[in-house]
Homo-oligomer: A and B are copies of this chain.
Amino acid sequence: MSADTSIHEDTHEDLEPARRPLRADAQRNYDKIVEAARVLFREKGADTSLDEIAKSAGVGPGTLYRHFPTRDALIDAVMKDWVDRVHGDAEQVLEAELGTRETLTTWLDRLVEHMSRYQGAPAKFASALDDTGTPMHHKCTALVAANKIVFDSLDARGALRAGVDPRDVVRMVTGIAAAAEKSGLGHEAATPMLAIVADGVLRA
C-alpha cells in the first residue's frame, strides 16, 4: 500500500469522469449548486424544482444546466461519498460477526436507510437499477456489489435458500423502501417487510 487516505483499493470507482479542473468561479458555482441541492433535497425531496435550486444557489438556471445536464447528474454529485459509505457498511456488518439472520436483517435495514436518504430517492434507485448509462446506475452497481459481499458471506455459511438471486433482493428492497416512504409512516414501516424477506431468503 502507498498512502493512507482515499486509496482506490476497489473497482467500484474507476469509471469516474476524471474531469480537468474548473475555472475558479465555475468551481465556486458548482459547489454552491451542489450544496444548495443537498439542503433542498433533504428538506423537500429529490424532486425539488431545479429552478428553485438554482435560485437558492444564487445562479441562473443555465449555469445549473451547464454543470448538470440532467437531474440525475445533480443527484449523483450530491451523493458523492455515498458509495463508500454503503461499501463500508457492508463490511462493518460482516465484522460484527452476528448470527446469519441478524446479519441479514441489519444489512437490509441499512440498505433501506441508504436508499431513503432523500425523499423520492428509492424510486430513482428502482428506475436506475436496470437503466445502464445513467449516473444513478453507477450508484446501483455499488449497491449490488456491496449487497453481494454480504450474500457471499451468508452463502459461504450455507445460510441461503437455493435459487435466491441477490440482485432480486436489491430490487425488492428498492420497492420496499419506496412503499415505506409513501406510507408516510417513516422508514420503520420497512422493518416488518424486511423480516418477511429475511425468512424468504434464509434456508429453513
Q: Which residues of A contact B (CB under 8 A)?
A: 123, 126-127, 129-131, 161, 163-165, 168-169, 171-172, 174-180, 182-185, 189, 192-193, 195-201, 204
Contact = CB atoms under 8 A, between A and B. Distances in A.
Nearest to A170: B179
B201 A196 contact: yes
A196 B164 contact: yes
A196 B170 CA distance: 12
A192 B170 CA distance: 12
A163 B196 CA distance: 10
A176 B172 contact: yes
Contacts of A175: 172, 174-180, 193
Given A198-B200, A199-B199, A183 B123 contact: no
Nearest to A201: B196
A204 B201 contact: no
A123 B204 CA distance: 32
Contacts of A196: 164, 168-169, 172, 197, 200-201
Contacts of A130: 183-185
A179 B178 CA distance: 9
Contacts of A198: 200
A136 to B, nearest CB: 12
A179 B174 contact: yes
19 contacts: A126-B178, A126-B179, A127-B182, A129-B182, A130-B183, A130-B184, A130-B185, A161-B199, A168-B193, A168-B196, A171-B189, A172-B193, A172-B196, A175-B193, A176-B176, A195-B200, A196-B201, A199-B201, A204-B204
